[in-house]
């Protein structure tokens, strides 16, 4: 396939390149001034990372730092170890970070780059579907705390993103399916063609060797680019649009579930459940019609994602949602839909409807 280049405008513009076998592009993205590169990678991907390191090592002084798996990487301790390593290696503001891994690697690697010397160049090479369509684009970085997910972080846009679709060929099936949670979400909030492609042929939509999944990846990334260019730092959109908050559709409940599960549930799985929850909440609050609410569960289920959850008491999930970044004081705020691709903000829903939507999430019929 021919490489696709999507431009991200704004104060710090960069390109997202989508293609196959993209490692050779890294030096041109890093630029001529870089001498040292910190290569932050998911440790279990050491073999997959070798071709990338083979490109970097002849051109740069490379510091390779293997990170723990998944959300276990997103801690202050891991970030501190990376800062120590950068200090010992003498990293300066003209040096750079390259991340190689899934969404957690991208988040913590981006955070390390954002905070070292108040910000150094970073290039993301996402290796999971989730990271490709979500974490790698938009400049959000962060780590988790005991209070919740991504509560510590910063905005730090990358110098470039290389979406190498070949990495999906070796991605475990369950991880690829989990990544579809963010893809399908993009269909509901902005691009109905995503839903049409998924519903027409779910098997093709999740085939990393086929032609449909690359189209879905590109469409989902375009959705995110359009949103972040218009509202990089979540200050709000125009004419009632939630702005960048729309990307957190379903995430208020999703993050609460992830916290309750000790971050052992895959993010995309939690997002699928969270989207179904908020669709039911929107239906109860008079925002969304019955058919569109039901379409949520059907679309996520078609690609193999969970749509129900009954592992934690309502009161515990409600308490976790109250520390969500979209909350204002004691008021819970949710991104909801008035229709497909018509997002809005719901502030202060009734506890009765919050609980009723929870009952549906547990598998009880509305």
Are 129 and 56 in a shared domain?
A: yes
- Return binding residues for NAD(+): 69-74, 103-107, 127-128, 140, 149, 167-170
| Residue 188 within a domain | no
Structure tokens at 345: 């903000």
- Return binding residues for Zn(2+): 182, 251, 267
| Residue 189 within a domain | no
Q: What share of the chain is helix, strand, coil (3-state, %, to 5)?
A: 50, 20, 30
Are 324 and 246 in a shared domain?
A: yes
Contact 159, 121 (CB under 8 A): yes
252 contacts: CB under 8 Å, gap ≥ 6: 274, 278, 321, 324, 326, 332, 333, 334, 335
pLDDT at 238: 65
| Residue 301 within a domain | yes
Provide the β-strand partners of residue 140. 155
**Number of other CB atoms surrounding residue 10 within 10 Å:** 13
Are 16 and 103 in a shared domain?
A: yes
Residue 172 CA: distances (Å) to CA of 165, 280, 285? 14, 31, 39
pLDDT at 32: 87
pLDDT at 52: 97
User: What total number of domains does the chain contain?
Assistant: 2
Q: How many CA atoms lie within 13 A of 43 on its CB side?
A: 10
pLDDT in tens, the chain (366 residues): 789 999 999 889 999 999 999 999 999 999 889 999 999 999 999 999 999 999 999 999 999 999 998 899 999 999 999 999 999 999 999 999 999 999 999 999 999 999 999 999 999 999 999 999 998 999 999 999 888 888 899 999 999 999 999 999 999 999 999 999 999 999 999 999 999 999 999 999 999 999 999 999 999 999 999 999 988 777 776 666 888 999 999 999 999 999 999 999 999 999 999 999 999 999 999 999 999 999 999 999 999 999 999 999 999 999 999 987 667 777 899 999 999 999 999 999 999 999 999 999 999 877
| Residue 66 within a domain | yes
Query: At which of 170, 201, 232 does a domain end?
Result: 170
| Residue 258 within a domain | yes
pLDDT at 239: 65
Are 36 and 165 in a shared domain?
A: yes
| Residue 180 within a domain | no
Are 18 and 157 in a shared domain?
A: yes
Q: Which residue has the tokens 């190498």?
A: 164
| Residue 185 within a domain | no
The parent domain of residue 33 ranges over 4-170
Query: At which of 143, 170, 197 does a domain end?
Result: 170
Q: What is the CATH number of the domain that holds 308?
A: 1.20.1090.10
| Residue 67 within a domain | yes
- Return binding residues: 69-74, 103-107, 127-128, 140, 149, 167-170, 182, 251, 267
Provide the β-strand partners of residue 67. 42
Are 122 and 17 in a shared domain?
A: yes
């Amino acid at each position: 396939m021919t490489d696709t280049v999507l431009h991200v405008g704004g104060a710090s513009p960069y390109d997202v390149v989508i293609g196959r076998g993209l490692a050779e592009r890294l030096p041109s993205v890093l630029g001529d001034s870089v001498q040292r590169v910190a290569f932050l990678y998911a440790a279990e991907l050491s073999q997959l990372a070798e071709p990338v390191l083979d490109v970097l090592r002849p051109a740069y002084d490379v510091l390779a730092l293997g990170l723990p798996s998944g959300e276990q990487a997103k801690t202050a301790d891991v970030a501190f170890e990376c800062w120590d390593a950068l200090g010992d290696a003498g990293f300066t503001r003209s040096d750079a970070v390259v991340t190689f891994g899934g969404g957690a690697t991208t988040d913590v690697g981006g955070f390390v780059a954002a905070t070292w010397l108040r910000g150094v160049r970073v290039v993301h090479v996402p290796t999971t579907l989730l990271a490709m369509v979500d974490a790698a684009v938009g400049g959000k970085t962060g780590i988790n705390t005991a209070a919740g997910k991504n509560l510590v972080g910063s905005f730090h846009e990358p110098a470039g993103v290389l979406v190498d679709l070949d990495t999906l060929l070796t991605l475990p099936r369950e991880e690829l399916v989990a990544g579809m949670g963010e893809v399908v979400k993009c269909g509901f909030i902005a691009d109905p063609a995503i839903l049409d492609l998924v519903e027409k042929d779910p098997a093709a939509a999740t085939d990393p060797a086929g032609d449909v999944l690359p189209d879905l990846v590109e469409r989902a990334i375009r959705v995110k680019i359009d949103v972040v260019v218009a509202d990089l730092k979540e200050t709000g959109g125009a004419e009632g649009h939630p702005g960048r908050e729309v990307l957190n559709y379903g995430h208020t409940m999703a993050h609460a579930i992830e916290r309750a599960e000790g971050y052992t549930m895959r993010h995309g799985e939690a997002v699928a459940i969270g989207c179904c929850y908020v669709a039911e909440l929107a239906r109860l609050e008079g925002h969304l019609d019955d058919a569109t609410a039901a379409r949520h569960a059907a679309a996520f289920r078609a690609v193999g994602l969970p749509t129900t959850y009954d592992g934690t008491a309502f009161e515990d999930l409600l308490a976790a949602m109250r520390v969500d970044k979209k909350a204002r004081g004691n008021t819970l705020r949710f991104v909801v839909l008035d229709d497909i691709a018509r997002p809005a903000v719901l502030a202060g829903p009734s506890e009765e409807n919050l609980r009723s939507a929870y009952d549906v999430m547990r598998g009880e019929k509305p």
